[in-house]
Structure 1
Amino acid sequence: MKIQTSVPTGKVARASQFMKAGVKVGGNYIKHYSKKLLDPNLSRDELHKDNAADIYDALSELKGSALKMAQMLSMDRGLLPIAYSDKFTMAQYSAPPLSGPLVVKTFKTYFGKTPSQLFDSFTIEAVNAASIGQVHQAYKDGKKLAVKVQYPGVADAVSSDLKIAKPLAVRLLKLNERDIDRYMGEVESKLLEETDYDLELKRSIEISEACAHIPGLVFPKYYPELSSKRILTMDWLEGMHLKEFMKTNPSQEVRNLIGQALWDFYDFQIHTLRQVHADPHPGNFLMRADGTMGVIDFGCVKVIPDFYYDNYFRLVNPDTLEDAVLTEEIFENLEFLTDADSPKERKFFSDLFIDMTRMLAEPFAVESFDFGDDSYFSRVYAFAEGLANVQELKNSKVARGSQDGLYVNRTYYGLYAMLNELKANVVTTKPEWLRSAKLVV
């Protein structure tokens, strides 16, 4: 694997990487249209593959928020062509690692000691390298440890990276610039939190202790004395990431056990703790043949405000949609509808969001749900693709939806996607007040 000896940290150096990616993308388009003159039936598959490779290469050298955005996009299978989502998936756990001297330098900065002075043994080569940091294996007092080391400069570059990346996102992904601006503050605050390992240590201990009673889940012990603002040390957990695990052909029973643990984990966090591990991508879970699963990385945690929680989950109960007045009130509270909407716009957007809510809440409308049902996900992805072409949304004078919904929706999207890949059938536990009156126990 390619080893990275430095990370661009200055604004100019990082901006140059984004510009380099933009130039390469432009060149790929020129190459594509030149070929298309000779072959009018040429598909865009090669173009997407070339663009994905060039953009990923640029972002992987930048690390931090730039690579984190690629990781987030890899989860949104309906948003990007498959060439992009496949390539960007590498950001979840296999980005190019930093060289040994940079790792040692980070330890000296925050501990005044080298890794070999802190641990009985320390593997200088990274075992995994993702967007914000990379993981090393170590031993101390007979315990096998995972030591996460943050890439240098990523915390300081979050705000500037987001501003620089915005034009690329608008051009490449055809995203609405107004929508990007609306949610930029939420994304920026979460990315800044992810670079604060002191905060992650605190949240990791609190949430893992609170969720320790959930069957099938395994959490590491964390070591504050071996952790700092940029280094985090915990027990080493054995297990496989989702794709690797599925290659072992686990039984339906084992897949259901893991799927149930995943569902119960999120159900308890959201409805009891009112804060949630909002980064449900496969790189954060380690699955085992006995049906248990390790949970790691509490860097991205969304605290759910009571007002948003009360309104959002009232919609999840399918009985709510039968009450037109209540539904319209909730849509206003969640900022799907605004005072500036004409009667025609209110009717259009109400119907649109009712259809979307009914579809995404289907797992809550039954006692158990087969997430292996690809027909359900085909409908969801087709609906999402259709939304991208709705002119009324494109031309709307306001962005639709509360900022708080960004990470809550992302959480459920990631959870659903993992359960689908597991082909798990789970009991969709929920608070009693979210149950439809039509459900028979």
Structure 2
Amino acid sequence: MSEIPRSAAHRTAKLASLPLGVAGRVVGGWGKRLAGRSSEEVSAEMSAKTAEQVFAVLGQLKGGAMKFGQALSVFEAAVPDELAGPYRDALTKLQTSAPPMPARTVHRVLTEQLGTAWAKRFSSFDDTPAASASIGQVHRAVWHDGREVAVKVQYPGADQALQADLKQLLRFSRVFQMMAPGVEVKPLLEELRDRYLEELDYRIEADNQRVFAKAFDGDDRVLVPRVVASSPKVMVTEWIDGTLLSKIIRDGDRDERDLAGQLLAEFHFSAPSRAGLLHADPHPGNFMLGSDGRLRVIDFGAVARLPQGLPKTLGVITKVALEGRPEDLVELFRAERFIRPGTEMQPDELINYLGPFVEPLRTESFHFTRKWLQREAERVSDFQNPESQAGRWLNLPPEYLLIHRVTLGATGILCQLDANVQAKAIVAKWQPGFAD
């Protein structure tokens, strides 16, 4: 599909086809079982076909729907292997792949954004996209001064598509409220909408990237490519090479896995102190490991603005949870609105709920594994478990939304990497309030 669907009705129908398609396969599966095929064979076939449909629909729609799919790809590590297997490859594709725009469409956007003489600004331009993302695709080119560059071109209609998706998301706020009764859902969704809409203006992303590039200039652990030029729907940056974390997840050796995990954790925790910003789009398609051992970071459309660094309160909460002080923890949670006024919360239930989440900080080095994440996901999703009930009644203030998203997303990547990370030392160095 070359263009993003502009009709809200068409997009809604596409999204609706996902649950309808699943239902159709369930009915078909019963028929095949009656015909004598085993439940394991039928379930595997149904899962594979559903995964194919997820990729086809979300990949074609791009916009907010594809962003949702990219977020899902990070959390597949929390799903048991026998269920996640068929979805893993399909969702991972969403990190870097989508049906491309034809060259004539790309040229039209470049003309609109860089002027009719845009081609003279490049020594060469490859019409075949090198990568694609939720609202744009990337082309490799050579700038007029000889520098190799990456040219990100926004899909025509991406703004309408993303706004339509986010509007649909807000309409489901009551449904989300029932799923998480302790959370003030509407302001959370509104914050998410505002941050996503910022990504539509590549000038904002370019400004974000300039701040990161300056903060990490000359760093021996992290490389951020410099911005060459930008407009609302086109951005040109220096080209960088490296091995995508998605490839290391698939077939990296032990040293690569551990180094990538260590660098990723260091980057996320150190950036707010160094740049006043937090990279808020954690999925393996945005990070690479270079031959020089440095982490390459791209895509700065989503950031959390933290001019004072990470909130000190988070460090204090982590320390209190680690030390097992339930009454102090409840008091902190109420003060920061993590518990809504009038909501009852038993201190022991809260400390038991949060305790395993700080497990990576109990040792000098922690091995992040899929099994560990799967165990935690199962624990907090079991509504018969009192600890799970405590989690359902916790609130997430909007100002913590992107921090929470990064924490969960980065943890998912670390578990996909199967990485050993010195998490305690990183948190002690970069998280205010933890080592005080």
Q: Work out whether the TM-score is over 0.5.
A: yes
| Alignment check: 8 A CA contact 1:65 1:131 kept | yes
| Separation (CA, whole Å) in 2 of partners of 1:211 and 1:383 | 39
For residues 214-269 of structure 1, the C-alpha deviation after alignment (integer angstroms, 9 at most, x for no partner) is: 43211211113xx21111111110111123245664452x5444333222211212
| Separation (CA, whole Å) in 2 of partners of 1:21 and 1:379 | 28
Give 1:388-399 correspondences, 5 Å limit.
393=389
What letter matches 2:112 in structure 1? T
**After the TM superposition, which of the residue ranges 239-248 and 288-297 deviates more from structure 2?**
239-248
SS in structure 1 at match of 2:342: coil
1:138 deviates by: 0.3
| Alignment check: 8 A CA contact 2:95 2:285 kept | yes
| Alignment check: 8 A CA contact 1:318 1:358 kept | no
1:391 deviates by: 10
In structure 2, what is the equivalent of residue 296 of structure 1? 298
SS in structure 1 at match of 2:11: helix
Q: Any stretches of 5+ residues in structure 1 without a counterpart?
A: none
Residue 121 of structure 1: which of 116, 120, 124 is its match? 124
- TM-score (norm. length: structure 1): 0.83
In structure 2, what is the equivalent of residue 262 of structure 1? 264
**After the TM superposition, which of the residue ranges 268-277 and 280-289 deviates more from structure 2?**
268-277
Change (3 A) 1:202 1:410: same
| Separation (CA, whole Å) in 2 of partners of 1:430 and 1:395 | 23
Higher relative contact order (CA 8 A, sep 6+): 2
Residue 230 of structure 1: which of 226, 229, 233 is its match? 233
In structure 2, what is the equivalent of residue 276 of structure 1? 278
SS in structure 2 at match of 1:5: coil
| Alignment check: 8 A CA contact 1:279 1:411 kept | yes
Give 1:145-224 correspondences, 5 Å limit.
145-164=149-168, 176=179, 181=186, 183-212=188-217, 214-224=219-229
Q: Any stretches of 5+ residues in structure 2 without a counterpart?
A: none
SS in structure 2 at match of 1:53: helix
In structure 2, what is the equivalent of residue 142 of structure 1? 146
What letter matches 1:403 in structure 2? P
In structure 2, what is the equivalent of residue 62 of structure 1? 61
Question: Would you say 1:17 and 2:20 are equivalent positions?
Answer: no
| Separation (CA, whole Å) in 1 of partners of 2:173 and 2:55 | 13
| Separation (CA, whole Å) in 1 of partners of 2:249 and 2:23 | 38
**After the TM superposition, which of the residue ranges 416-425 and 204-213 deviates more from structure 2?**
416-425
| Alignment check: 8 A CA contact 1:217 1:295 kept | yes
| Alignment check: 8 A CA contact 1:255 1:424 kept | yes
| Separation (CA, whole Å) in 2 of partners of 1:358 and 1:395 | 12
**After the TM superposition, which of the residue ranges 332-341 and 103-112 deviates more from structure 2?**
332-341
Change (3 A) 1:376 1:215: farther
For residues 56-92 of structure 1, the C-alpha deviation after alignment (integer angstroms, 9 at most, x for no partner) is: 2122111111101110111122369413444222111
Residue 106 of structure 2: which of 81, 103, 106 is its match? 103
Change (3 A) 1:34 1:136: same
Give 1:236-247 correspondences, 5 Å limit.
236-245=239-248
Question: Would you say 1:370 and 2:366 are equivalent positions?
Answer: yes
Question: Would you say 1:410 and 2:405 are equivalent positions?
Answer: yes
For residues 169-227 of structure 1, the C-alpha deviation after alignment (integer angstroms, 9 at most, x for no partner) is: 999x9982866645321221121122221100000010221133543211211113xx2
| Alignment check: 8 A CA contact 1:370 1:423 kept | no
| Alignment check: 8 A CA contact 1:147 1:231 kept | yes
Residue 8 of structure 1: which of 5, 10, 13 is its match? 5
How many residue pairs get aligned? The number is: 423
What letter matches 1:135 in structure 2? V
- TM-score (norm. length: structure 2): 0.84
1:321 deviates by: 4.9
SS in structure 2 at match of 1:234: strand
How large is the Cα RMSD of the aligned pairs? 3.5
| Alignment check: 8 A CA contact 1:318 1:361 kept | no
| Alignment check: 8 A CA contact 2:379 2:385 kept | no
In structure 2, what is the equivalent of residue 357 of structure 1? 354
1:426 deviates by: 3.2
| Separation (CA, whole Å) in 1 of partners of 2:114 and 2:19 | 39
1:394 deviates by: 10
| Separation (CA, whole Å) in 1 of partners of 2:49 and 2:216 | 43
What letter matches 2:62 in structure 1? K
| Alignment check: 8 A CA contact 1:149 1:231 kept | yes
SS in structure 2 at match of 1:416: helix
1:152 deviates by: 1.3
**After the TM superposition, which of the residue ranges 258-267 and 314-323 deviates more from structure 2?**
314-323
| Separation (CA, whole Å) in 1 of partners of 2:11 and 2:369 | 43
| Separation (CA, whole Å) in 2 of partners of 1:394 and 1:151 | 43
| Alignment check: 8 A CA contact 1:250 1:289 kept | no
| Separation (CA, whole Å) in 1 of partners of 2:59 and 2:12 | 14
| Alignment check: 8 A CA contact 2:59 2:98 kept | yes
1:156 deviates by: 2.5
Question: Would you say 1:426 and 2:426 are equivalent positions?
Answer: no
Residue 334 of structure 2: which of 314, 332, 335 is its match? 332
| Alignment check: 8 A CA contact 2:150 2:236 kept | yes
